[in-house]
Amino acid sequence: MKCLPTESGRFVIAKIERHISYGKYALWSDISWGAGLKFVNDVTHIDANNRGLWQKLTVYRPIWLTTYKNEAAIKKLF
């Protein structure tokens, strides 16, 4: 099977649903497109639903802290 670029033209999106990546991008798939991110005292906070409900990224998804060991290492990713 030969891989070719996507054809030009108009396309219709059939559905939008949650996507989970595995491997290299597994952590990033936990953050929704458009989610608010801010840093307070070098700690990453996320507003996952854009409703003004800010919480630490490491509380929202504890695996970030398990993977990167400390808040400063997480901030460097952004």
pLDDT of residue 54: 94
Kindly state whether residue 16 falls inside one of the protein's structural domains. no
pLDDT of residue 9: 81
Range of the domain at 52: 32-77
Total number of domains constituting the chain: 1
pLDDT of residue 77: 78
Kindly state whether residue 54 falls inside one of the protein's structural domains. yes
**Which residues of the chain register pLDDT less than 70?**
1, 3, 16-20
Over residues 20-34, the pLDDT tens digits come to 677 777 777 778 778
Closest by CA to 31, choosing from 15, 47, 16, 51, is 47
Distance CA 48, CA 24 (A): 21
pLDDT of residue 55: 92
pTM for the whole structure: 0.59
pLDDT of residue 10: 82
Kindly state whether residue 56 falls inside one of the protein's structural domains. yes
